[in-house]
Amino acid sequence: MFRLVSVFLFFLIVAANSKAAEQSLEAFVQIKSDEILTLVNEGRAEFESDPSVLYGQMGAVLDELVDFAILTRGIMGKHFKVAIDDQRLAFQQTLRNYLVEVYTKALVKFKSKSIEIIPLKKPPTNKATISMEVTTQDDATFLLAYSMAKKESAWLVRNIIVDGINMGLTYRSQFDSMMISNNNDVDTVIENWATAADEEEFSK
Amino acid sequence: MPDTAHDFIGFTRLIIQRGIIAGIVMFSVACATVDNPDPFEGMNRKVMAFNDEADRLILKPLAKGYINITSEPVRRSVSNFYDNFAYPITILNQFLQGKVRLGFRDLGRFVVNTTLGLLGFFDVATKFGLEQHDEDFGQTLGVWGVNSGAYFVIPLWGPVTTRSGIGDIASFYTHPVQFVEDEYVRYGLFIVWAIQTRASLLEAEELITGDRYLFIRDAFLQRREFLVNDGVIEEDPFLDDME
């Protein structure tokens, strides 16, 4: 009985995987996810003593995968319009470093075992939210979703939703509240954001 | 726990009765709609400061101690036990939401884990393909079209919305722990549950950044909506207004 069930499950998994391979976006996300997982798993031991190596590697991967420019716009929200170009660029840089660190730290901490992409119902045109079930090493599962859009024929991630928690929206409301408590001074908010990232690093 | 067939019928009847009463009460009470999800932010921040202090002094040290004296598999079993113990609430709400097939599947899951899984300490049902669901009365109200209402931080309990809070009250009255006769056992079960739930949040908590109050509020509100939609994310509103 058990064997029958596992053989059945095996075919299910194979079927699901081959289905993903047909559609390029799912396959692309799967490849990138595996690449990142491997990177984190190999770098985990060294991360304790010297996190900068893994940050560097993850940064390189994410720079090609994440649309930090649009994320900057989305998180600054209504304050993007009033900011000048220098401020926008400064925030983009701060945000990029911050997200690379937070994302790396989260992956190091929550040891994931497998990532199973949920196939899209219909082939994407130029935008898609793609969900995947992540299983951690202690067999907990959670749902991760990437909002993606095509930019010059490459798919880029523009937001991430962790078990229903929309990080883009959460950060936008953080930015807005920092603006209110700092008399709408964009420079101070960017500075505070960078310090918050450093403190994070410090408390680790 | 009931130990005879007669008790079991009485137990089931009570659950159904209380479930129906809870359903009617919820349906009639929840009608509030608020544009701003957090109109009581000032008060809520004060309550959260109080909760955080109580947590720092009592619950967090207990949770850390619990992690020190238990191994990962033990904690997983304890967590499995509580999930299974409360599972009749999920089953009941599947039916209340009209998801009959899932209701029966979850009933099957509960039976399998209570028997083969030794009172739920082992999650064998997932291995049989009967995966876990998470439904409660607050979600049922959401499925019925009731708005989530206002956000509140309740002393010694934490975040709720009007809707989820009414759901929590309904869950309190229908929770199987109510049918545990011995009150010391009942309190003991509650205390261990509180400690293990807190312990399970210790790691995730380290990822909270920026304004802690806002982070928890936004995360809570978004997660509740996500649960009402059964984890289906169709569109991401984040960048919709950008283009």
DSSP labels, A77-91: GGGTTTS-HHHHHHH
Q: Which two tokens stand for residue A117?
A: 């992409």
pLDDT at B13 over 90: no
Tens of pLDDT, residues B197-229:
999 888 778 777 778 899 899 999 988 988 988
Give me the pLDDT at residue B241, please. Answer: 60
Note the pLDDT tens digit of each residue in B30-79. 444 446 888 889 999 999 999 999 999 999 999 999 999 998 889 989 99
B142 has pLDDT over 60:
yes
Q: Rounded to whole angstroms, how far apart are CA atoms A75 and A186?
A: 13
List all residues 6 or more positions away from A182 whose beta carbon is below 8 Å from its beta carbon. A188, A189, A192
CB atoms within 10 A of CB A140: 14
Which CATH code fits A2-201? 3.10.450.710
Q: Are B209 and A200 in contact (CB under 8 A)?
A: yes
Whether residue B109 has pLDDT greater than 60: yes
Give pLDDT, residue B87: 94
Judge: B129–A143 Cβ closer than 8 Å, yes or no: no
pLDDT at B97: 93
Enclosing H/E stretch for B43: helix B41-54
The Cα diameter of chain B in Å comes to 64
Given a cut of 60, is residue B3 above it in pLDDT?
A: no
E strand intervals along chain B: 151-154, 158-161
Residue A137 phi, psi (nearest 5): -70, -20
Which tokens go with B68?
């020190």
Q: Measured between alpha carbons, how far is B165 from B160 in angstroms, rounded to an integer?
A: 5
Q: Which residues of chain A neighbour B128 with C-beta distances below 8 Å?
A: 5
Which residues of chain A fall short of a pLDDT of 70?
1-23, 196-204
pLDDT of residue B242: 61
Q: How far apart are CA A119 and CA B192, in angstroms?
A: 40
Tokens 């749902």, residue located = A143
The pLDDT, as a whole number, for residue A3 is: 57
Q: Contact A161/B72, CB-based, under 8 Å? A: no
- Asked if A132 and A33 count as a contact pair (C-beta separation under 8 A), the reply is yes
Other C-beta atoms within 10 Å of A122: how many? 8
Nearest to A177 among B207, B211, B235 (CB): B211
Query: What pLDDT score does A200 carry?
Result: 52
> How does residue B114 score in pLDDT terms, banded at 50, 70 and 90?
very high
Contact B235 A165 (CB under 8 A): no
pLDDT score for B77: 92
User: Which residues in A lie closer than 8 A to residue B243 (C-beta atoms)?
Assistant: none
pLDDT of residue B83: 93
Whether residue A129 and residue B233 make contact (CB cut-off 8 A), yes or no, is: yes
**CA-wise closest residue to B150 among B43, B8, B229, B15:** B43
Give the gap in angstroms from C-alpha B181 to the nearest C-alpha of chain A: 33
- The CA distance from A11 to A17, in Å, is 10
pLDDT tens digits along A159-178: 999 888 899 888 998 889 88
Q: Residue length, chain A?
A: 204
